[in-house]
Amino acid sequence: MLKLNISDEISPLKVVLLGTAMSCGPTPTPEQAYDPKSLEHILAGTYPKEADMVREMEGFANIFRKYGVKVFRPQVLKDCNQIFSRDIAFVIENKLIKANILPEREPEFAAILHVLDKIEESHILCPPAEVHVEGGDVMPWYDYIFVGTYTGSDYSELITARTDKAAIGYLAQQFPNKKVKSFELRKSNTHAKENALHLDCCFQPLGKGKAILHKNGFLIEEEYQWLVDFFGQEHIFEITSDEMYSMYSNVFSISPEVVVSEQSFTRLNRWLRQQGFTVEEIPYAEIAKQEGLLRCSTLPLVRA
């Protein structure tokens, strides 16, 4: 059996589920786009090709193997985009929580049953229907669970609003020993640079007490300021709206010292090395066109 263990974003990774770009289907129509960035590339004729995305994901898998991480992959579904495994489930402590995702993405969860079979049934939680939550919005951080949310009255009209108020109460109930800290995110169906699809699109805690932040991703300045105070201004790498658009905050920590980052993130990668991190740079820019990057592609199951 697989003994789940996730208490933070940075402890040495032992087991991960990495999504797959195999058989991800034809380019969606504009009406099928889940987010404004994908829509931009659909309309521009620059939507990523399957072969390029498969190559990028294999590069990521190779980095995991280099560091001795056990890698699971989903069962490949025909013509189904299964890249972003963080959307379908997430782990806190020894529990895997099934995300209540967009209904048309339900088959993606069924495609990881071979992994779920290795987990004790009582450790798999399925929130009730009114709890909308996706893994990109949920970050376990020791005593805290950081949660990106949107509670505006127009929630139901925004396909980019993924985690609701009910999710905050649900997580607090399931993990009474944790402090659930929520952050209202800026949402837009039409402007990618004004849309924080998930919390990990504008914030990422790192090892060595560092963090990546983008102020405009947060709707409430006091909540952004709380994170600045929590980590300390001198420990924060503040990204621009263009860098958020490129997904600079969606890097992935294999350990407190090792960060996987996109090879074109020159300013960030230089800063990370200056802070003493080992930076594993890989090409991931084609996948980024779908408003998701390295963290979005992973579902960590066990960290040491």
Residues contacting 57, CB < 8 A, separation 6+: 18, 19, 20, 21, 83, 287, 297
Which residue segments constitute the domains of the chain, with CATH numbers given?
13-303 (3.75.10.10)
Per-10-residue mean pLDDT of the chain, 304 residues long, equals 97 98 86 73 87 97 98 96 93 95 81 96 94 92 94 59 83 97 79 73 96 94 97 98 92 98 98 98 92 93 97
Is the CB of residue 94 less than 8 Å from the CB of residue 302? no
Q: What gap in Å lies between CA 33 and CA 53, rounded to an integer?
A: 17
Predicted confidence at residue 190, as pLDDT, reads 54
User: Which pLDDT score, from 0 to 100, does residue 187 have?
Assistant: 62
Q: Please tell me what DSSP assigns to residue 9.
A: S
Asked if 212 and 206 touch (Cβ cutoff 8 Å), the reply is: yes
CA distance 139 to 149: 12
Asked if 110 and 104 count as a contact pair (C-beta separation under 8 A), the reply is: no
Burial class (CB within 10 angstroms; exposed 0-12, middle 13-18, buried 19+) of 57: buried
- DSSP character at residue 129: T
Total-model pTM: 0.92
Q: How far apart are CA 42 and CA 44, in angstroms?
A: 6
pLDDT for the residue numbered 127: 94
How much is the pLDDT for 129? Answer: 87
pLDDT value of residue 245: 87
Confidence (pLDDT) at 35 = 65
